[in-house]
Amino acid sequence: MYAFEPSEEQKMLVDAIHRYTVNDLRPAAHDADEGGDLPGNLVEKGWELGVLQASIPEQFGGFGDHSAVTGVLAAEELAWGDLAGAFAVLTPGLFALPIFLCGSEEQKKKYLPPVIEAEWKPYSAAMVEPHFDFDPQEFRTTAVESGEDYLITGEKVFVPYAPQAETLIVYAQLDGKAQGFILDANAAGVEIEDRQSLMGINALPLYKMHFNEVRLPKVNRLGGEDGHEFAPIIDASRIATAALGVGLSKAALEYSRDYALERDVFGVKVAQKQAIAFMLAEMATEIEAIRLLTWEAAWLVDAEKEEASREAYLACIGAIDMAMMVTDRAVQILGGHGYIREHPVEMWMRCGRGLATFTGLAMV
């Protein structure tokens, strides 16, 4: 049947995340973006909400069943708080979820408990590459056989917490197929450049990395010697992007709506001008439309339906366009004040544009 009501457990999780966003993420967001730094134990507190842990089964140290739908609800709420903070909290998932979804049994048993059972640690992943037409099905980073090992060569960008990560997943093209590899970050040939400077999500430390024939044993190929299907990883990444876009956009809609309700113009409130009211109506409608598309994509993944991959792609593309439209309009509705960094809308617009390139920074 069709149903659109989160379960009691899902509601509890979202409520807990909401309190975290209101008490911790949001108050820190502005300064974190200005200073490029997330304060003290903010990320640990977010980690303790258990979003990732709830999506990994007990046998691997977690306490739940993996559900993309639950992940979507959590990601929406985190992004509503702050996108950079959301990415930071979700970073260990970049390592754990590919292993859970595509790893061999040995890999799951070896790598998951240390991530899930402990406090937040910057386990990470290197997916995005620095060319304008980056395609996560055709990496330019290569993996080449060398005896019992693979050699990884290439460049990656947008790697969260690279210098602190001890282990990370690197994605590369092996015999024409996109594959993940579990890599010791201290291996020879791994170079980390200075921290990247981007238009948005400044509080999240992202790095460019070089891999110069970095050696890793064949057993460290995700999925073991036979490798893995790439679809689950890209689907999980796309659905996460979409969910984060929905949350971010809701924040922008609510803020600009509330501003328009307060601000006076020509003897009435800005919200009483049809041009503005229609902008808000369209923003709300688009957010809801893409939100449902994202929920459907997540449900298709959970239900293991064939159409899941295509739907995840459509949801992601839809969310990218929707978030750009909504966050842009939020700035416009605030007029000149929207352009000033005291209000969060310009930051959300910088984030909104970034979504087009953030796939790979979170998974659900």
Partner 1 sequence: MIEFEMPKPIVKQRYLLQTVAEQMMRPHSRYFDENEHEIPWDYINFMHEAMRAMGAGALAPNAGKEDTKEEPEGKKKYPPIGYQSLAFMLETLAWGDVGMYLVTPGGALGAAAVEATGTPEQKKKFLSRFNEEKPAFGAMAMTEPHCGSDTSAIRTSAVLDKSTNEWIINGEKIFVTAGKLSLLESDGLVVVWATIDPEAGRAGMRPFVVEAGTPGVKVTKLEHKMGIRASDTASIVLQDARVPFENLLGSPEVPKKETKGFKGAMATFDATRPLVAATGIGVARAALELLKELLGQQGVTIRYGLPRQKLSSVERDVIDMEIMLESAWLLIIKAVWMADNRKHNPLEASMSKVKAGDAVTKITQKAMEIMGPVGYSRDLLLEKWFRDAKITDIYEGTGQINRLIVARNILGYRGSQLR
Binding site for partner 1 (CB under 8 A): 1-7, 10, 69, 132-137, 234, 257, 260-261, 271-272, 274, 277-278, 280-282, 284-286, 288-290, 292-293, 295-296, 299-300, 303, 309-311, 313-314, 317-318, 321, 356
Whether 89 and 51 have beta carbons less than 8 Å apart is answered as yes
DSSP-derived secondary structure letter, 204 = S
Q: Which two tokens stand for residue 191?
A: 């170079």
Closest CA to 191 of 210, 204, 208, 173: 210
Please, how many CA atoms are within 13 Å of residue 5, restricted to the half-sphere of its CB? 3
Q: Between 197 and 266, whose beta carbon lies closer to partner 1?
A: 266
Q: Between 133 and 194, whose beta carbon lies closer to partner 1?
A: 133
Q: Between 108 and 291, whose beta carbon lies closer to partner 1?
A: 291
Q: How far is the CB of 95 from partner 1 (least distance, A)?
A: 23
* Sign, Cα dihedral of 290, 292, 298, 303: negative
Q: How far is the CB of 42 from partner 1 (least distance, A)?
A: 29
Q: Report the alpha-carbon distance of residue 109 to residue 343 in Å, rounded.
A: 46
Q: Report the alpha-carbon distance of residue 352 to residue 170 in Å, rounded.
A: 26
Phi/psi at 197 (nearest 5 deg)?
-115, 115
Q: How far is the CB of 254 from partner 1 (least distance, A)?
A: 9
Q: Between 221 and 257, whose beta carbon lies closer to partner 1?
A: 257
Q: How far is the CB of 252 from partner 1 (least distance, A)?
A: 13
Q: How far is the CB of 294 from partner 1 (least distance, A)?
A: 9
Q: Between 42 and 293, whose beta carbon lies closer to partner 1?
A: 293
Q: Report the alpha-carbon distance of residue 66 to residue 232 in Å, rounded.
A: 13
